């Protein structure tokens, strides 16, 4: 990952730069983690296919920029082009998520616990290879640098030797905007209340007149839309995407969800940012090969030591 | 009679809520003791503490004067404590006979290598396990016999599942049986049958029995001694009549209307 | 929870979960039901012989290296699937790191017997050392299962698999503290390519035939051992653990120990398979151990029936042979139409309906072909690669555009939507809708999937897993399971 400017010596500037990089990456992880967390909270299902929904989002963004004439000369203003990409990816992935829920998970609502997990593996594999089939294994590029002659990279905040590009501001800004919207939705609307009730106790919620199936569909809709947005944002940051990217990001997103406390909305956001920072620092200060190992160690440490995560509450197991 | 099981000052809290508070219980050999109390009194928690599913915060649990605290559940079972579950936890997709055979794990020895080599010792042991399972199932008359042996446990009726749980528990060769609401969800005929069965378990099987039960007819019919709990504390102990007429027990069950008592 | 879309039931048995009643009705029916009854009637040794003897006789029938290679690969897959089945099928632990054990075994042998390290151990020493080492690694990976179950365990083991891949891919940068290797521990992505053939007490295995016999021999030993363990106290305890870990623990079974043994036993079998694989291929590469292999193995274990060793064997054979047939486009066409014929009775219930639909699809195809040909000749100008009569037939029936790239993409997405939509229809509507969907499937197959067999096979595996879980989760030979949540 050559995008991160690594400075030679450990100084304040490089630390701040790594922090900004980590927050950028972390905000994408947070968006993915939210999808895992929402679905896990309600269905107690680890949606393995979520990472691949994210990947499809990145491809939708790539498709939209192609339709709009490429990033060098889009037929609409740049800000509108990026908005189109994000909206199209969000809607496309939301639809995909709802379809996956309807056909892969709903028939297994009362099946043994291992069944939906295997179904999820199958969906993940199916999506990955379908994209491979349709678009080949080559890396696709957003050509992010071509957007209005590179202004996304060149302009931004300059503060001494420190440079925070406009692109990073856009990415972090849109991720936080999405998270803010989600928080409003979960804590301020009727649907959000129904979601929280369902996640607390599905059967009780059903008996209280909540249409649980509808809540589940909306959960997939929202979670997958967030993953789609994350896909476009990652495409914009790194410029390159391919069919296999969902696997790695999915794992990181899941780790973020666990670290923050799975099923917990603010926890997923916090976890995403933490994992992004951890990865960025280990890239900058330790090694560029073993960052996965470090993220993995964090995951295992949390699962064994504090499975409820930073913000989660410990469940008391009733026997 | 010698004391078999003894709880001394056992306390357990979840978060800030004390579920079992400084509880003392002792059960003598071949005695049937019932534990009663309203929902949430901490009855099932006691079973979980004895069998090692939970660890007490303080106090000691002794079986034949040796402490069980800190042992893992399978070791406690090996020492001679077996239980059934209020919510029925059978191995549903195994056959009826296999359910009972599986519970013989603790007092048998043949490992993977000997199973592959089919050593004479392993074959003998395997025959012994079969015999034990058939004998334990035969204890319930024809309820769990014949073709039912090879049926999966999920095909059993509710009452038969409760019987199978008891058969499975006895296959661990316990000294004391902990029965968690054995008559829950049964009709009057089945309830009567279970009452007789618990007596037979003591008289013919030689087990000591600690039982949690809500059905007062069952409690009356089987108990040598009754212990009443409320909010994790022992509020009464003695014969059924003594406990059933105890003011605090009545209050715990029915609630106290201040206007009437004053 | 009520299931609003559940079809009406014909009276589930007492105390039986309705979901189980629904799937159970399907187990006993059809060809799989027949096979199941036939197999259950045989004594265990006969079942093993039924598979092993024909496999061992393949060299007598053919000297074709390709067939022998496929037979060896299939035997190795069977071994791997049997090992995976211990943790997943018997003990109920979702182990997604299994491929790492296979890779560890392969790399382990490559370290002990190759020009890379300069060690050239005899197989009778190297294999036991590698198997024991892999089993110990399995023990280690089993440790998290003390605290984690279900999805959490799955993700930790999946990460472990990732770590294994990272290590072997970057192994050129790692050095052992006590011995300096020219190209690092594993030579990274280049792999180790000078692995010794197996050498037992001076008997060198050189030909494919000998490796096939070795693999079949390993299969007989492993499946025999598994059968005996399954019938023993340990096997019962594993099943009890799968059903209810807490009840198993309270019923005197040391659950944590049993989990470790399950992981270690599976890992040992994977390690053994890895050594045979490395020696037979003469090399090991990181790309031999990828996610696709893991999914393929899961598909094998699940298709045959989780927990049933014979089902697992059949699943592995069926899947590996089908995947092999899919490699060549000409064979793939055949497989597609044979597959359709097999699937047909499942979707449609009456013979009259089946006949009508077949006729409908054929007629519909020629009609569409004619109309499109008249309007736009570019839409039918392509042709299949094969020369057999079936290819000529397909040329005149299926739409084969000159340049199928873009149209193919849309057709593929439409097909998926159409198939999903089809599952929502019932009765006559479904029979009517099946006609265009089948024709569309044939077009997509010939235009898109056949051209990229290596991708198409994985798409089908993924789709199969999803479809199986929804329709027949116990696999072809397994018995349906009930779980009270």
ipTM (interface predicted TM): 0.91
Contacts of B49 in chain C (CB under 8 A): none
- Interval B126-151 mean pLDDT: 88
- Interval A216-242 mean pLDDT: 93
Query: For testing the chain C interface, which of A109, A112, A303, A312 should be mutated: the one with the most C CBs within 10 Å?
Result: A112
Contact assignment for B72 to C236 by CB distance below 8 Å: no
Helix %, strand %, coil % of chain A (to 5)? 75, 5, 25
* Pair A42, A195: CB distance under 8 Å: yes
| Other Cβ atoms within 10 Å of A203 Cβ, number | 11
Note whether C390 contacts A: Cβ–Cβ < 8 A.
no
Is the per-residue pLDDT at C150 higher than 80? no
Is the per-residue pLDDT at C16 higher than 70? no
pLDDT of residue B110: 87
Contact assignment for A46 to C461 by CB distance below 8 Å: no
Judged by CB atoms within 8 Å, which residues 191-230 of B form the interface with C?
none
- Percent of chain C exceeding pLDDT 90 equals 30
* Pair B228, B246: CB distance under 8 Å: yes
Note whether C166 contacts A: Cβ–Cβ < 8 A.
yes
* Pair C103, C288: CB distance under 8 Å: yes
Contact assignment for B157 to C16 by CB distance below 8 Å: no
> Could you tell me which chain A residue has the CA closest to the CA of B93?
A112
Query: For testing the chain A interface, which of C99, C301, C332, C455 should be mutated: the one with the most A CBs within 10 Å?
Result: C455
Compute the nearest-CA separation of B86 from chain A (Å).
Answer: 9
pLDDT of residue C482: 67
SS (H, E, C) chain C: CCCCCCCCCCCCCCCCCHHHHHHHHHHCCHHHHHHHHHHHHCCHHHHHHHHHHHHHHHHHHCCCHHHHHHHHHHHHHHHHHHHHHHHHHHCCCCCCCHHHHHHHHHHHHHHHEECCCCCECCHHHHHHHHHHHHHHHHHHHHHHHHCCCHHHHHHHHHHHHHHHHHHHHCHHHCCCCCCCCCCCCCCHHHCECCECCCEECCEECCCHHHHHHHHHHHHHHHHHHHHHHHCCHHHHHHHHHHHCHHHHHHCCCCHHHHHHHHHHHHHHHHHHHHHHHHHHHCCECHHHCCHHHHHHHHHHHHHHCCCCHHHHHHHHHHHHHHHHHCCCHHHHHHHHHHHHHHHHHHHCCCHHHHHHHHHHHHHHHHHHHHHHHHHCHHHCCCCCCCCCHHHHHHHHHCCCCCCHHHHHHHHHHHHHHHHHHHHHCCHHHHHHHHHHHHHHHHHHHHHHHCCCHHHHHHHHHHHHHHHHHHHCCCCCCCCCCCCCC
Is the per-residue pLDDT at B109 higher than 70? yes
Contacts of B107 in chain C (CB under 8 A): 252
* Pair C42, C186: CB distance under 8 Å: no
Contacts of C240 in chain B (CB under 8 A): 91, 94, 99, 102
Contacts of A246 in chain C (CB under 8 A): none
- Interval A283-299 mean pLDDT: 79
Lowest mean pLDDT among B245-259, C122-136, C422-436, C463-477: B245-259
- Percent of chain C exceeding pLDDT 70 equals 85
Compute the nearest-CA separation of B217 from chain A (Å).
Answer: 26
* pLDDT tier, C84 (very low <50, low <70, confident <90, very high otherwise): very high
Contact assignment for C248 to B91 by CB distance below 8 Å: yes
- Residues sharing a CB contact under 8 Å with residue B37, sequence separation 6 or more, in sequence order: B43, B228, B229, B230, B252
> Could you tell me which chain B residue has the CA closest to the CA of A316?
B14
Highest mean pLDDT among A160-164, B104-108, C359-363: B104-108
Question: What letter does residue B214 receive in the DSSP assignment?
Answer: -
Contact assignment for A319 to B14 by CB distance below 8 Å: no
Note whether A114 contacts B: Cβ–Cβ < 8 A.
no
- Looking at every residue in chain B, the average pLDDT score rounds to 89
Compute the nearest-CA separation of C64 from chain A (Å).
Answer: 32
Lowest mean pLDDT among A139-153, C111-125, C215-229: A139-153
Enter the tokens of residue C321. Answer: 């042979």
> Could you tell me which chain B residue has the CA closest to the CA of A319?
B48
Compute the nearest-CA separation of C423 from chain A (Å).
Answer: 9
Prediction pTM value: 0.87
Note whether A289 contacts B: Cβ–Cβ < 8 A.
no
Note whether B243 contacts C: Cβ–Cβ < 8 A.
no
Lowest mean pLDDT among A238-247, B45-54, C57-66, C203-212: C57-66
Highest mean pLDDT among B175-179, C56-60, C307-311: B175-179
Compute the nearest-CA separation of B87 from chain A (Å).
Answer: 8
| CA–CA distances in Å: residue C226 to residues A94, C220, C232, C312 | 46, 10, 10, 12
CA distance B180 to B178: 6
Nearest one of C1, C296, C420, C430 to A104, comparing CA atoms: C420
Query: For testing the chain B interface, which of A112, A114, A314, A319 should be mutated: the one with the most B CBs within 10 Å?
Result: A319
Contact assignment for A299 to C465 by CB distance below 8 Å: no
Please count the residue pairs, one from chain B and one from chain C, whose beta carbons lie less than 8 angstroms apart.
121
Is the per-residue pLDDT at A266 higher than 80? yes
Is the per-residue pLDDT at C423 higher than 50? yes
Helix %, strand %, coil % of chain B (to 5)? 45, 25, 30
Q: Give the helix/strand (H/E) hosting B10.
A: strand B3-14
Phi-psi region at B58: left, alpha or beta (left = phi > 0; alpha = psi -120 to 50): beta
pLDDT of residue C7: 40
Residue C372 CA neighbour count, 13 Å, CB half: 17
Contact assignment for B91 to C16 by CB distance below 8 Å: no
Compute the nearest-CA separation of B203 from chain A (Å).
Answer: 30
Q: Give the helix/strand (H/E) hosting B125.
A: helix B120-138
- Residues sharing a CB contact under 8 Å with residue C141, sequence separation 6 or more, in sequence order: C95, C97, C100, C157, C160, C263, C267
pLDDT of residue C4: 41
- Interval A82-86 mean pLDDT: 93
Nearest one of B29, B13, B34, B25 to B60, comparing CA atoms: B25
> Could you tell me which chain A residue has the CA closest to the CA of C146?
A304
Contact assignment for B102 to C254 by CB distance below 8 Å: no
Rg (CA), chain A: 20
Is the per-residue pLDDT at A271 higher than 50? yes
Query: For testing the chain A interface, which of C462, C475, C481, C485 should be mutated: the one with the most A CBs within 10 Å?
Result: C462
Lowest mean pLDDT among A142-156, A223-237, C48-62, C291-305: A142-156
CA dihedral defined by C253, C255, C257, C258, rounded to 10 degrees? 80
pLDDT of residue B1: 67
pLDDT of residue C19: 52
CA distance A214 to A58: 27
Is the per-residue pLDDT at C28 higher than 80? no
pLDDT of residue C3: 38
| Other Cβ atoms within 10 Å of A209 Cβ, number | 7
pLDDT of residue B123: 93
* Pair B230, B42: CB distance under 8 Å: no
* pLDDT tier, C382 (very low <50, low <70, confident <90, very high otherwise): low
Is the per-residue pLDDT at A6 higher than 60? no
* Pair B6, B50: CB distance under 8 Å: no
Phi-psi region at A158: left, alpha or beta (left = phi > 0; alpha = psi -120 to 50): beta
pLDDT of residue C345: 62
| Other Cβ atoms within 10 Å of C416 Cβ, number | 16
- Percent of chain A exceeding pLDDT 70 equals 94
pLDDT of residue A126: 94
Sign of CA dihedral C54, C57, C58, C62: negative
- Residues sharing a CB contact under 8 Å with residue B147, sequence separation 6 or more, in sequence order: none
Residue appearing with tokens 């990472």: A51
Judged by CB atoms within 8 Å, which residues 238-257 of C form the interface with A?
246
- Interval C140-151 mean pLDDT: 83
Note whether A300 contacts C: Cβ–Cβ < 8 A.
yes
> Could you tell me which chain C residue has the CA closest to the CA of A49?
C462
Reduced to 3 states (helix: H, G, I; strand: E, B; else coil), residue A291 is helix
Question: Of B74, B112, B156, which has the smallest distance from its Cβ to C261's Cβ?
Answer: B112
pLDDT of residue A131: 94
| Other Cβ atoms within 10 Å of C325 Cβ, number | 16
pLDDT tens per residue across span B198-245: 999 999 989 999 999 988 889 998 999 999 998 888 999 999 999 988
Nearest one of B134, B250, A203, B116 to C1, comparing CA atoms: A203
Please count the residue pairs, one from chain A and one from chain B, whose beta carbons lie less than 8 angstroms apart.
6
Is the per-residue pLDDT at A53 higher than 90? yes
Dihedrals phi, psi of C101, to nearest 5 degrees? -65, -40
Question: Of B77, B85, B115, which has the smallest distance from its Cβ to C229's Cβ?
Answer: B115
Q: Give the helix/strand (H/E) hosting A78.
A: helix A78-100
pLDDT of residue C12: 44
Question: Of B14, B53, B85, which has the smallest distance from its Cβ to A316's Cβ?
Answer: B14
Compute the nearest-CA separation of B93 from chain C (Å).
Answer: 6
pLDDT of residue C480: 67
> Could you tell me which chain C residue has the CA closest to the CA of A290?
C166
């Amino acid at each position: 990952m050559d995008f991160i400017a690594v400075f030679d010596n450990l100084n304040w500037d490089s630390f701040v730069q790594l922090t900004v990089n980590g927050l950028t990456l972390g905000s994408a992880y947070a968006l993915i983690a939210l999808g895992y967390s929402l679905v896990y909270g309600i269905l107690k299902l680890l949606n393995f296919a979520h990472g691949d929904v994210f990947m499809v989002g990145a491809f939708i963004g790539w498709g939209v920029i192609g339709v709009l004439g490429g990033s060098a000369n889009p037929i609409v203003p740049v800000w509108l082009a990026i908005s189109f990409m994000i909206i199209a990816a969000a809607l496309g992935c939301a639809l995909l998520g709802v379809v996956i829920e309807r056909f892969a998970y709903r028939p297994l609502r009362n099946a043994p616990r291992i069944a939906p997990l295997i179904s999820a593996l199958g969906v993940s594999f199916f999506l990955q290879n379908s994209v491979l089939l349709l678009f080949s294994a080559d890396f696709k590029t957003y050509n992010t640098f071509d957007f209005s002659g590179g202004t996304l990279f060149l302009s931004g905040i300059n503060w001494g030797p420190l440079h925070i590009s406009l692109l990073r501001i856009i990415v972090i800004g849109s991720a936080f905007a999405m998270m803010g919207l989600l928080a409003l939705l979960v804590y301020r609307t009727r649907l959000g209340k129904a979601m929280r009730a369902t996640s607390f106790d599905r059967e009780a919620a059903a008996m209280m007149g909540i249409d649980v199936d509808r809540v589940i569909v909306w959960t997939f809709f929202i979670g997958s839309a967030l993953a789609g947005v994350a896909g476009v944002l990652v495409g914009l940051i790194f410029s390159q995407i391919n069919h296999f990217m969902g696997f790695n990001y999915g794992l990181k997103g899941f780790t973020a969800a666990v670290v923050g406390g799975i099923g917990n909305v603010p926890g997923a956001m916090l976890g995403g940012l933490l994992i992004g920072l951890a990865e960025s620092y280990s890239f900058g200060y330790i090694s560029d090969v073993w960052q996965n190992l470090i993220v993995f160690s964090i995951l295992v440490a949390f699962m064994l030591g504090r499975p409820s995560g930073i913000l989660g509450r410990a469940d008391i197991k009733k026997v | 009679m010698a004391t078999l099981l003894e709880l001394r000052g056992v306390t357990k809290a979840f978060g800030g809520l004390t579920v079992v508070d400084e509880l003392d219980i002792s059960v003598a050999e071949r005695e049937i003791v019932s534990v009663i109390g309203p929902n949430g009194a901490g009855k099932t928690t006691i079973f979980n503490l004895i069998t090692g599913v939970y660890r007490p915060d303080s106090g000691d649990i002794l079986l034949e004067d040796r402490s069980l605290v800190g042992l893992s559940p399978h070791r406690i079972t090996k020492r001679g404590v077996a239980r059934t579950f209020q919510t029925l936890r059978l191995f549903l997709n195994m056959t009826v006979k296999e359910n009972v055979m599986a519970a013989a794990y603790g007092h048998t020895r043949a490992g993977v290598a000997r199973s592959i080599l089919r050593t004479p010792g392993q074959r003998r042991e395997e025959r012994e396990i079969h015999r034990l399972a058939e004998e334990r199932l035969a204890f319930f008359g024809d309820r769990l016999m014949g073709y039912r042996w090879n049926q999966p446990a999920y095909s059993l009726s509710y009452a038969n599942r409760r019987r199978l749980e008891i058969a499975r528990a006895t296959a661990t060769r316990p000294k004391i049986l902990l029965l968690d609401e054995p008559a829950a969800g049964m009709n009057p005929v089945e309830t009567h049958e279970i009452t007789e069965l618990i007596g037979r378990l003591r008289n013919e099987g030689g087990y000591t029995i600690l039982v949690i039960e809500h059905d007062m007819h069952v409690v009356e019919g089987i108990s040598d001694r009754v212990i009443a709990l409320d909010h994790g504390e022992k509020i009464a102990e003695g014969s059924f009549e003594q406990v059933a007429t105890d003011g605090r027990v009545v209050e715990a069950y029915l609630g106290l209307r201040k206007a009437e008592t004053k | 929870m009520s299931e609003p879309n559940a079809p009406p039931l014909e009276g589930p048995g007492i105390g039986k979960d309705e979901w189980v009643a629904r799937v159970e009705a399907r187990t006993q029916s059809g060809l799989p039901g027949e096979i199941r009854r036939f197999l259950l009637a045989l004594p265990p040794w006969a079942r093993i012989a039924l598979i092993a003897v024909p496999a061992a006789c393949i060299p007598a029938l053919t000297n074709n290296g390709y067939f022998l290679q496929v037979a060896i690969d299939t035997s190795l897959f069977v071994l791997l699937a049997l090992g995976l089945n211990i943790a997943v099928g018997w003990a109920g632990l979702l182990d997604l790191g299994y491929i790492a054990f296979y890779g560890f075994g392969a790399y382990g042998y490559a370290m002990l017997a190759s020009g890379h390290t300069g060690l050239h151990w005899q197989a009778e020493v190297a294999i036991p050392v590698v198997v024991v080492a892999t089993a110990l690694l399995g023990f280690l990976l089993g440790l998290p299962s003390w605290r984690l179950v279900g999805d959490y365990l799955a993700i930790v083991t999946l990460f472990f698999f990732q770590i294994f891949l990272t290590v072997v891919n970057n192994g050129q940068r790692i050095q052992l503290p006590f011995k300096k290797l020219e190209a690092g521990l594993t030579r990274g992505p280049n792999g180790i390519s000078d692995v010794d053939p197996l050498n037992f007490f001076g008997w060198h295995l050189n030909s494919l035939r000998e490796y096939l016999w070795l693999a079949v021999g390993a299969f007989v030993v492993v499946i025999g051992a598994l059968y005996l363990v399954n019938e023993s106290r340990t096997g019962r305890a594993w099943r009890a653990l799968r059903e209810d870990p807490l009840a198993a623990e309270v019923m005197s079974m040391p659950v944590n120990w049993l989990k470790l043994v399950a992981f270690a036993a599976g890992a040992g079998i994977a390690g053994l398979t890895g050594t045979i694989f490395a020696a037979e291929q003469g090399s090991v590469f990181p790309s031999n151990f990828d996610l696709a292999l893991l999914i393929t193995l899961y598909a094998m274990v699940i298709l045959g029936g989780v927990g049933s060793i014979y089902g697992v064997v059949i699943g592995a054979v069926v899947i590996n042979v089908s995947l092999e047939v899919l490699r060549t486009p000409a064979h793939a066409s055949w497989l597609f139409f044979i597959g359709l014929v097999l699937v047909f009775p499942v979707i449609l219930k009456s013979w009259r309906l089946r006949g009508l639909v077949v006729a409908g699809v054929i007629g519909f195809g020629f009609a569409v072909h004619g109309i499109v040909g008249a309007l736009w000749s570019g839409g039918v100008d392509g042709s299949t690669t094969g020369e057999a009569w079936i290819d000529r037939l397909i040329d005149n029936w299926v739409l084969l555009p000159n340049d199928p790239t873009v149209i193919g993409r849309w057709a593929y997405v439409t097909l998926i939507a159409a198939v999903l939509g089809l599952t929502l229809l019932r009765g006559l509507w479904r029979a009517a809708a099946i006609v265009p969907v089948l024709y569309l499937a044939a077009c997509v197959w010939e235009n898109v999937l056949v051209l990229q067999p290596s991708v198409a096979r994985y798409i089908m595996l993924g789709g199969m897993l999803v479809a199986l879980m929804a329709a027949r989760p116990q696999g072809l030979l397994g018995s349906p399971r009930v779980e009270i949540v």
